[in-house]
């Protein structure tokens, strides 16, 4: 089972992304409160935020010093 979110508007279902299958059975679940529509972000804005908030921190780790600091507390 896969989940694809979307909206229901006057008899029409609007999916946020393409369905994962060409044909199949579906289950429709209506939320109690009306979902708020989000402003869509352009691909360029997404890439900018993705680059800003992803990645790693490079540092050398001294395992013995980390262990000693942990057990010293």
Q: Please report whether residue 51 resides in a domain.
A: yes
The residues that bridge with 12 in the sheet, in sequence order, are: 9
Number of domains the chain contains:
1
Q: Please report whether residue 26 resides in a domain.
A: yes
Domain that holds residue 21: 6-72
Structure tokens that stand for 15 in this block? 């999916």
The residues that bridge with 6 in the sheet, in sequence order, are: 15
> What confidence tens digit (pLDDT) does each residue in 18-67 have?
888 888 888 888 877 766 666 777 888 888 877 777 766 666 777 788 77
Q: Please report whether residue 68 resides in a domain.
A: yes
Of the two residues 55 and 13, the one the predictor is more confident about is 13
Compute the radius of gyration of the chain from its Cα atoms: 23
Q: Please report whether residue 1 resides in a domain.
A: no
What is the pTM (predicted TM-score) of this model? 0.36
Q: DSSP H helical segments within the chain, as ranges?
A: 43-53, 63-72
């Amino acid at each position: 089972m896969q989940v694809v979110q979307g909206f229901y508007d006057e008899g029409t279902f609007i999916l946020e992304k393409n369905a994962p299958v060409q044909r199949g059975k579906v289950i429709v679940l209506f939320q109690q409160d009306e979902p708020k529509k989000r402003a869509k972000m352009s691909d360029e804005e997404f890439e900018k935020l993705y680059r800003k908030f992803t990645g790693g921190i490079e540092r050398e780790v001294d395992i013995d010093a980390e262990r000693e600091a942990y057990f010293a507390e």
